[in-house]
A = this chain, B = another copy of it.
Amino acid sequence: MASGTPPHAAAAGTRLDPWLSSYAARTQGMRASEIRALFAVANRPEVVSLAGGMPYLEGLPLDILGELTQRVVATRGTTALQYGSGQGDEGLREQILEVMRLEGITAHPDDVVVTTGSQQALDLVTRIFIDPGDVIVAEAPSYVGALGVFSAYQADVVHVPLDADGLIPSALEETLTALEREGRRVKLLYTVPNFHNPAGVTLSAERRPQILEIARRHGVLVLEDNPYGLLGFEGDPIPAMRALDDDGVIYLGSFSKTFAPGYRVGWAVAPHAVREKLVLASESAILCPSNASQLAISAYLSTCDWKGQVKSFRELYRERRDAMIGALSEHLPDASWTVPNGGFYTWVKLPEGLDAKAMLPRAVTSRVAYVPGTAFYADGQGADHMRLSFCFPTPERIREGVRRLAGVVAGESELVSLFGTGPGAPNRTIQAPGPDLT
């Protein structure tokens, strides 16, 4: 660089982006994840991707769904193709109550707001509650897409540890007390209680009222994100936190994992006054959710055996979970991992000294992909972990993927034992999740 020129980043930015100085403060830290370029490669067919959270849709009855959509457009087209209610279609909101009843939730259709996937609900909740510098408490680790939203609204995320039974009540109590002592404003406790993304653990029934009591006592609203609740591999679902507390919980649900993400239909259930604000915020953001999507899902729920479909997804994913855990036991004995009772993910701790992010390019070269643990923390932790998804590839591909991964880990371990390469520096930048990372 010639002397006298401005620092590189600014100079490049000025050259490339005439509007660089116009962005809002919230936009300054916004950048594409470094690992996304790798994912472009990871999507090639020869790579076994254990990275994405895409549900396996080949089990869906596409012919029947096609006919059903045809009927919706042909017979209800002037509604399906028109603007609709900002809060969402009332018929669908009633059907959503049925879905939630399976997890013990009783609510009124008026308590439900339909959103463009539950990601939009996360955005709206954060929008109405978070001023820059407000604190959101979240599990360590936490869903990358939520961390991205929280960062977009300039929240400070403080992590609370979890164990095999989910978020640890005593740790939550300590953290909230310490934050109070520091005079911090804690607005939300964000939690994924069932089949946690990425940790794979579930908050036990015993802990649920304890967590709710602690949050209530500290004046913190609980944001319960539950896309996977119906995808348990054993027994009936544990009652949702919202089933235990109407006023202190905003519950988020989704059809993305139990049916299909392509319609982008999720929902929030919120205390009345909060629900009103969510609707106003959603109208400002998108006017209204898609009637075409909502009526298609409504027709699916009313004419298809959706509970049977969920059951067959559960069996499919259980088989894949078993394939993954079996392969990990066989090929990666020096690592450790969680054994999820449902959902899409296991959370793997690498052998001592390995850095999942540093290792990713080598993994992709060896035709296997995963998400490095750092993606799931707001504070640079997680380099020694990776998230493995078992939702999309077949059991055979999962086994092959883990075999390839074991080869990469072995090579990396050898390098570490020779040269002592440790984890890199923590990376505090929260990145936009991208659909690859759901």
**Residue positions of A touching B, CB distance < 8 A:** 13, 16-20, 22-27, 30-32, 52, 54-55, 57-58, 60, 62-63, 65-67, 69-74, 77-86, 116-117, 119-120, 123, 127-131, 134, 145, 148-149, 152-153, 187, 219, 221, 247, 256, 260-264, 271-274, 276-277, 279-281, 283-293, 296, 432-435, 438
Contacts and interface: CB of A to CB of B under 8 A. Distances in A.
Contact of A63 (B74, B85, B256, B280): B74
A280 B70 contact: no
Contacts of A69: 66, 69-70, 72-73
* In the complex, the 3 A-B pairs of residues with the closest C-beta atoms, listed nearest first: A17-B273, A66-B74, A70-B70
Given A78-B57, A81-B260, A293-B293, A284 B433 contact: yes
9 contacts: A18-B271, A25-B131, A27-B128, A30-B280, A32-B276, A32-B280, A63-B74, A67-B74, A127-B152
Contacts of A80: 262
A278 to B, nearest CB: 10
B284 A148 contact: yes
A30 B290 CA distance: 23
B292 A263 contact: yes
Contacts of A134: 24
Nearest to A290: B264
Contacts of A130: 24
B60 A77 contact: yes
Copies per assembly: 2
Nearest to A259: B81
B260 A82 contact: yes
Contacts of A23: 128-129, 277
A328 to B, nearest CB: 26
Contacts of A435: 83-86, 283, 287-288
Given A77-B62, A148-B283, A290 B276 contact: no
Contacts of A128: 23-24, 26-27, 30
A86 B434 contact: yes
Given A81-B57, A290-B264, A284 B123 contact: yes
Nearest to A116: B286
B22 A129 contact: yes
A54 B27 contact: no
B67 A432 contact: no
Interface centre among A13, A31, A261, A264 (most CB of B within 10 A): A264
Nearest to A61: B77
Contacts of A280: 30-32, 432
A3 B153 CA distance: 41
A305 to B, nearest CB: 17
Among A65, A82, A283, the one with the most B-chain Cβ atoms within 10 Å of its Cβ is: A283
A60 B74 contact: no
A231 to B, nearest CB: 17
Contacts of A123: 284-286
B264 A286 contact: yes
